[in-house]
Structure 1
Amino acid sequence: MITSKASQWTTFQTPACQVDFTDSKLQGRMNQLWNTNLSGFTRQGITGNPWTATNSSDQTWYFDPTTTDTSEGGYAQIIWSPVPGRIKYYFPNISNANMWSLADTGYDTTGATFGQIPADPCDSSDTSKIPYGPYGPRGWQDEYCEWSITRNAAGKIVRIDFTCENPEYWNTLWMVSPQRVVELYRETLDKPQIALEDLYLRDPTGNVVIDASTGRPAYDPLNKWNRGTASSATAGGAMHLTSTPNTLQTEIGLGSTATTPRTSGNSNPNTLICCAQYGQIGRNSDPHIGQSVNQTVTPPNPALSPAKATLANPPGLYIQTPNFGRITAPGGVDPRTFWTVKRGQQSLTDPAGNPLPGNFILHAVFAVPPELGFTISDLQVDGVPVQWAAQIAQTFSMQIAAMALPQPKPGPAAQGCAGSPAVSQAQALQLFNTPVFNAMIATPIANPVGQPMNLASNSTMIAPHIEPGARARRLTLVLTGLLNPPQLPTTLSFGPGVSVDAAGAPRAVTYAIPGNTYPSTSYALDVFVSVDPDAAPGLRDVLVGNPGQTPTIATPALLNVVDPVTKDMV
């Protein structure tokens, strides 16, 4: 439902309009990089996948809010529960206690982990099973909200950190200033013992990996202070999202894909999600978000006008204020006093002063002040004693703020369901600085179900930086849609002023491409990239083509030609 008129920012704002630098130069650099990254993600979403899928491209009913006149637009709120919905979806007879325990720890009250689930829940004829995912130290928390739990020596919960901050923001922040990142870790988690070196990406032998984009140590998104759901004085915490589907670039992709009307209709969210092939059925978030967006473009009431849709600026996923009336504390203490917003804002207005719907909380802490003499484990939610952080999580909602831009009738024609084309085209998926890729792909990540996973699944789609005049920079391009057996592409282009040469043959690699729930096999191709001194700056698209095929569409925004990062950006 549209709640208020919109007014336009001309650049993408940081989530919740967060300002993390007092130095205006550093904040300006952060704002610039963030706008560049979000512009690239938006182009990727609108382009879709014309290479290896049908009915999944040219999604122009999703729009860029920074380049579109939004004066006739309006805001809408889409909300869902942060408690992983797929647990109850696949295990409907599970008790609440076991569901809460699984949501918190990846194990039920008996110490058993998740069971097997259908490999393809959209195909009832497929009886094969796979381990429940997403994988990772808290991968099952896949509703764009993750949490870590601090318990005392008696096992009682004394603190819960809830975060919905996207990993792309923290990777961008690290590119501007690792020192500011470690300061924010200390301030947000209240752990002054966190060292900068704790956040460095290391290869399997323990050596620090240097990111050629900055010339400094690369960031480890699953460092020991942002890993798992148990937090202590020596490890653990939840600074930003780590479940592989929980990325902002993916949310933009979901929103853009959901703008395509489908012949399946949009009355059933799971039918729609299977037809369009975005996200996972059973989640509280993706099916509901996709259906809401699709019904904006193709209203169920034919008397209503269609509308283009986008994530409202500032794009992000946000925690809402809990329903404190569901929480009971000893002595009638008001539970509102246990809730502290560490990052984000209660409310936002656009440049014209119009209110955006809902709250814009990025990180919140729920903790009982020690002087009260009791803990979170002495509270009740809905009359049930609290044993699990998930019980507190179920008292609040998650949100995206959407924007709808009314359009004249008729709306776009419905397309059939997404599928596989008769002949796939080569597709560039992701680009890395090679040392970063090699370290990530070689770093195994433990998870409750014991499935093979590596750190590359927690990479992001942020384009590597390269300077004009750079010579023979070694990068790794991840591809799909290659001929079988895999052959070198005969077309490989980053556009004018950039030359590229293959440094070897494609090799199979398995990881979850950012935003995907499960790992898949793609091909990694090492390349040497050189940039002319006078090459135009900005994001570069990557055009690849198999032998005998003529590619026409490039993958947007995989490389960023930039001026050298100045030395004070530390």
Structure 2
Amino acid sequence: MKTFDTPAYQAEKDFKDNPALREKLHNAWSNYVKYCTVNSIMGNPWSSTYDHPRSWYYNPLVTPSIPNENNTVPIQWNAFPNRINHYFTTLFTDKFGKQDYEDKLHELADIGPIAFGQKYNMKLTVPRNPCDPTDTGTKAFGPSGPRGWQDEYCEWSVTRDESGDIIAVNFTHENPEYWFHMWKISPDTVVSLYQEILNNENVQKEDLYLLDSHGNPVIVRETGLPAYNPINKWNNGPDATSSGGGAVHLTSPPNSLGAEIYLGAAATILRVVNGKVITDANTLICAAQYGQIYRNSDPRIGQNVNSLVYNHNVQVSLTNPIALYGQIPHFDQFEMPATANYKIEDCYTVVRGALKNKGITYYPNNMLLHTRFSVPADANFKLSDILVNKKPLKWGSQIADTFFVQLAGTGLSPAQGQQPEKFPPVGIPATTLPSVQYLLDNNLLQASLYNKLNTFSNLTSCITQVEAGTTTEGIAVLANGAIQQTGFDFGPGVTVAVTDFQNLDEDTQLFLISITTDGGVALGEKPLTLYNNASDPGFALSGVLEVVAAGSLPKTDSTPNRTLLSSQQIEQVKKILK
């Protein structure tokens, strides 16, 4: 395999009339997935013990394997947020009664903990550290964000009529990183797709801009164009109207492609306690410290990948094209009105993705990225007239309960005599090494905090670029375990000057740096290693910086942002990085 393909080969459709842009997107996307793969195989040698290396997760660009029915396994989980069921079933049964608790669970999944708490005068909390039963502290139920609680790689928005009845539900499984790459290639294509997906010509390009605290578009240095806001007015929250709201792509912080790959790689390490390999899904998460306990997705992904290694003695990689894919609902869980002039299948539309893989390699089952439930124009019934598991359709989450989300893993026989790593649970080393969390232009960092994006990974999915033979100022580096004298190593031909430094807490630091590249520096990606002492072992993070040819980036008049973080912003960063 020479490149990673875009999810469900979607770039072939999104740029069907522009081969040049399609190729540009495909290459950028493949590089992004490659860097995610390399970093995921690296694991965490900086601040964890027994989490490096992850040699039983293979890179298919390096180690060839062809997916087929015999070596590829689908991994599926229910789309309804299971942490809602786990944490609140008993509480809601006690408060609302056995007849109504299930309805309230579905309502919470639709409207979120803040709106639900305000409506019913409840403070919804969960254990601060669910892996440690001795920790009696609590925290607000999350994750945060406009659909943060919909954390099973499935988010949805509901459209209602004036009477409050559901008239449409849009489900998305698309990772945000694809949309950031597409925006960098062609903002006009993104706008057109928004209009098509939402069936709404009111969507304007300016609606999708990331704005600064003064209401001005934040300009991306590498393009000279406004940055993309992933939680813009048309991809924001669980409700959709003609003037705002909607679900185009995933927004919950855990619902990213990078997290999916990292989790898959982490799960290839066998964890051993008292001589026994851990096989329980949630225990494995706590031992390996990946993902979130009690979700449907993370425990199932981790357990299935781990089982492939443990029970079948194969190396594993997520199957190309790597993505999260919705599956067709179990339509037998729906009951139509007796006089309905359509079947339930007629109310279901595939908006993006494909019912079947049409690519050149094997991929099991459905490859659905975006689907919609709505009745045909001449239907003699409404969605609210349909029963789902014997209950009237009131909430989009009732539909989410009827289908699964999927990824797939492809196994590869190891070299003769090679055995998988068997490590104890991860721990904290005696000495931690400085590590890079994010590298991005400081204007993007500042704007992401102002807009409360809750994650920086979306902004940094497009690699930061600098030209050969130039000095680029105003670059922010968020690090852990660093000191003011920490050194930066991008390799030959690239030097760094620290222009400002800020300790955010005892473990988190912000550097503002300028990057100077020699005129003759080799072009391409430059992994970054941080070191507190020259004698420390060096581990590089890939995919943070790329040197491009002189003159290939636009000339802008923008002044580099040298602003440090306020106390409020520091708290935001600590929340994001915790």
Provide TM-score, normalisation by structure 1.
0.89
Q: Which residue of 2 aligns with 1:316?
A: 323
Offset of residue 108 of structure 1 = 4.0
Alpha-carbon distance in 2 for matches of 1:507, 1:347: 51
Offset of residue 431 of structure 1 = 0.7
Name the aligned partner's letter for residue 101 of structure 1.
E
Q: 1:551 to 1:475 in 2, by over 3 A?
A: farther
Offset of residue 350 of structure 1 = 5.1
**Partner residue of 2:29 out of 16, 21, 34:** 34
Residue-by-residue CA offset, 1:388-428 (whole Å, 9 max, x unaligned)? 00011111110002111123456324100011111111101
Q: Mark the runs of 5 or more structure 2 residues left unpaired by the alignment.
A: 93-100, 555-578
Q: Which residue of 2 aligns with 1:124?
A: 133
3-state SS of paired residue (2:516): strand
Q: Which residue of 1 aligns with 2:510?
A: 524
Name the aligned partner's letter for residue 491 of structure 2.
G
Equivalent runs, 1:421-500 vs 2, <5 Å:
421-444=429-452, 454=454, 456=456, 459-482=459-482, 487-500=483-496
Q: Which residue of 2 aligns with 1:544?
A: 530
Is 2:73 the partner of 1:76? yes
Task: Find runs of 4+ consecutive structure 1 residues off by over 6 angstroms.
Answer: none
Q: Which residue of 1 aligns with 2:3?
A: 11
Question: Does the 8 A contact of 1:269 with 1:287 survive in 2?
Answer: yes
Offset of residue 507 of structure 1 = 3.9
Name the aligned partner's letter for residue 498 of structure 2.
A
Q: Which residue of 1 aligns with 2:97?
A: none
Name the aligned partner's letter for residue 39 of structure 1.
K
Question: Does the 8 A contact of 1:430 with 1:461 survive in 2?
Answer: no
Offset of residue 565 of structure 1 = 5.5
Name the aligned partner's letter for residue 411 of structure 1.
Q
Equivalent runs, 1:286-297 vs 2, <5 Å:
286-297=298-309
Name the aligned partner's letter for residue 249 of structure 2.
H
Name the aligned partner's letter for residue 175 of structure 1.
K
Q: 1:322 to 1:44 in 2, by over 3 A?
A: same
Q: Which residue of 1 aligns with 2:343?
A: 334
Name the aligned partner's letter for residue 182 of structure 1.
V
Q: Which residue of 2 aligns with 1:388?
A: 395
Question: Does the 8 A contact of 2:9 with 2:359 survive in 1?
Answer: no
Alpha-carbon distance in 2 for matches of 1:246, 1:368: 29
Equivalent runs, 1:115-514 vs 2, <5 Å:
115-264=124-273, 265-299=277-311, 305-330=312-337, 331-332=339-340, 333-348=342-357, 351=360, 355-407=362-414, 408=416, 411-444=419-452, 454=454, 456=456, 459-482=459-482, 487-508=483-504
Offset of residue 112 of structure 1 = 4.5
Q: 1:535 to 1:253 in 2, by over 3 A?
A: same
Q: Mark the runs of 5 or more structure 1 residues left unpaired by the alignment.
A: 1-8, 300-304, 446-453, 510-519
Residue-by-residue CA offset, 1:179-205 (whole Å, 9 max, x unaligned)? 111111111111111000111111111
Q: 1:114 to 1:135 in 2, by over 3 A?
A: farther
**Partner residue of 2:542 out of 535, 538, 556:** 556
Alpha-carbon distance in 1 for matches of 2:85, 2:161: 29
Alpha-carbon distance in 2 for matches of 1:458, 1:113: 32
Q: Which residue of 1 aligns with 2:85?
A: 88
Name the aligned partner's letter for residue 250 of structure 1.
A
Offset of residue 55 of structure 1 = 0.9
Offset of residue 238 of structure 1 = 0.7
Alpha-carbon distance in 2 for matches of 1:127, 1:475: 40
Offset of residue 489 of structure 1 = 3.5
> Which of 468-477 and 190-199 deviates more?
468-477
> Which of 540-549 and 411-420 deviates more?
540-549
Alpha-carbon distance in 1 for matches of 2:468, 2:180: 23
Identity %: 37
Alpha-carbon distance in 2 for matches of 1:457, 1:132: 22
Alpha-carbon distance in 1 for matches of 2:485, 2:344: 60
Question: Does the 8 A contact of 2:180 with 2:228 survive in 1?
Answer: yes
Alpha-carbon distance in 2 for matches of 1:201, 1:552: 36
Question: Does the 8 A contact of 2:440 with 2:460 survive in 1?
Answer: no
Aligned positions, number: 530
3-state SS of paired residue (1:46): helix
Q: 1:81 to 1:460 in 2, by over 3 A?
A: farther
Offset of residue 31 of structure 1 = 0.6
Residue-by-residue CA offset, 1:177-236 (whole Å, 9 max, x unaligned)? 111111111111111110001111111110110011212111111111111001101110
Q: 1:114 to 1:178 in 2, by over 3 A?
A: farther
Q: Which residue of 2 aligns with 1:302?
A: none
Alpha-carbon distance in 2 for matches of 1:289, 1:565: 41
Offset of residue 135 of structure 1 = 0.7
Alpha-carbon distance in 2 for matches of 1:472, 1:75: 45
Q: Which residue of 1 aligns with 2:110?
A: 104
Q: Which residue of 1 aligns with 2:38?
A: 43
Name the aligned partner's letter for residue 548 of structure 2.
V
> Which of 131-140 and 538-547 deviates more?
538-547
Is 2:50 the partner of 1:63? no
Name the aligned partner's letter for residue 107 of structure 2.
S
Q: 1:239 to 1:474 in 2, by over 3 A?
A: same
Offset of residue 123 of structure 1 = 0.7
Q: 1:524 to 1:155 in 2, by over 3 A?
A: same
Alpha-carbon distance in 2 for matches of 1:114, 1:409: 55
Name the aligned partner's letter for residue 4 of structure 2.
F
Whose helix fraction is larger, Structure 1's or Structure 2's? 2
Name the aligned partner's letter for residue 295 of structure 2.
R
Q: 1:489 to 1:360 in 2, by over 3 A?
A: farther
Question: Does the 8 A contact of 1:442 with 1:455 survive in 2?
Answer: no
Alpha-carbon distance in 2 for matches of 1:541, 1:375: 55
Offset of residue 547 of structure 1 = 4.8
Alpha-carbon distance in 2 for matches of 1:251, 1:363: 18
3-state SS of paired residue (1:505): strand
3-state SS of paired residue (1:263): strand
Name the aligned partner's letter for residue 96 of structure 1.
E
Question: Does the 8 A contact of 1:102 with 1:113 survive in 2?
Answer: no
Name the aligned partner's letter for residue 176 of structure 1.
I
Alpha-carbon distance in 2 for matches of 1:558, 1:469: 19
Offset of residue 72 of structure 1 = 8.0
Offset of residue 488 of structure 1 = 1.3
Alpha-carbon distance in 2 for matches of 1:347, 1:223: 31
Question: Does the 8 A contact of 2:194 with 2:203 survive in 1?
Answer: yes
Question: Does the 8 A contact of 1:489 with 1:544 survive in 2?
Answer: no
Q: 1:456 to 1:558 in 2, by over 3 A?
A: closer
> Which of 541-550 and 261-270 deviates more?
541-550
